[in-house]
Amino acid sequence: MGLPPVVLVHGFATSARRTWRSLGWIDLLREAGREVHAPDVLGHGAAPKPHEPAAYADLESWLAERLPDGPIDAIGFSLGARLLLGVASDHPHRFRRLVVAGVGRNILYGDPEYRRRVALAVAATRPSEDPPMAYFAALADRPDMDRAALVALLEGFEANIAISRLAHVTCPVLVVLGDRDRSGPPDDLVAALPDAELRTLRGVDHFATPKNYDFLSAALDWVGKPPP
């Protein structure tokens, strides 16, 4: 039996093209003989961009409907990782192996004030002096982004995932987090997953994670493991 398709799900305020294609992920997976699916999340890239927060309330189901028939392997970063964990908790039979990067304590006990600041940065028309907020604002200013849609997602989607749901994620999960990423620490997330391993990226912050070679190498190795 060959290895299943690989799904790549990007983070907030970016796209499949910028996160995966431009950094070589898709080419490397295809060179390894894998079928690759890299959807743009609702509100991003080439996907529809509704401005109503209610359109994003069931974003997990929106993504689940666009995944190949399982089992699949999947790699998600930040928002993409959070979405994949939600889908895998509801549909565990659809996943063989999973990699989640750029997430930790933040998706269990999220900071509403930080989320509010991100929304203000995305909606703002003048630069922020706070480097992370300035980065989000710059992402939102790209031609394929829509500021109102991004704010609607932040307002409509529940960023936290209940620890009790993670007990239903039965596939092996690799959690990848930079030691300079404010999304951590990852300990509670790793402990809540029935079958999880942690890979720490030294000297890496949140935004540098997708282009980090150690993340790329660890993720490709994880999804490249043959069936038992």
pLDDT in tens, 135-150: 898 998 898 899 999 9
How confident is the prediction for the chain on average, in pLDDT? 95
- Is 80 exceeded by the pLDDT of residue 50? yes
| Cβ neighbours for 134, distance < 8 A, ≥ 6 positions apart | 121, 127, 128
CATH of domain 6-109+160-223: 3.40.50.1820
- Is 90 exceeded by the pLDDT of residue 124? no
pLDDT tens-digit map of 181-199: 999 999 999 999 999 999 9
Which residue did the predictor score with more confidence, 112 or 178?
178
* φ and ψ at residue 181, rounded to 5 degrees: -90, 120
What mean pLDDT comes out for the span 159-170? 97
| Cβ neighbours for 53, distance < 8 A, ≥ 6 positions apart | 152, 153, 155, 156
Please report the pLDDT score of residue 126 as a whole number: 64
- Is 90 exceeded by the pLDDT of residue 2? no
- Is 90 exceeded by the pLDDT of residue 127? no
Q: Where are the beta strands (DSSP E) in the chain?
A: 6-9, 36-37, 72-77, 95-101, 173-178, 196-201
Q: Which of 168, 167, 164, 171 is nearest to 70 (CA)?
A: 171
**Where do the domains of the chain lie?**
6-109+160-223
**pLDDT band at residue 1 using 50, 70 and 90 as cut-offs:** low
Q: Are 101 and 78 in contact (CB under 8 A)?
A: yes
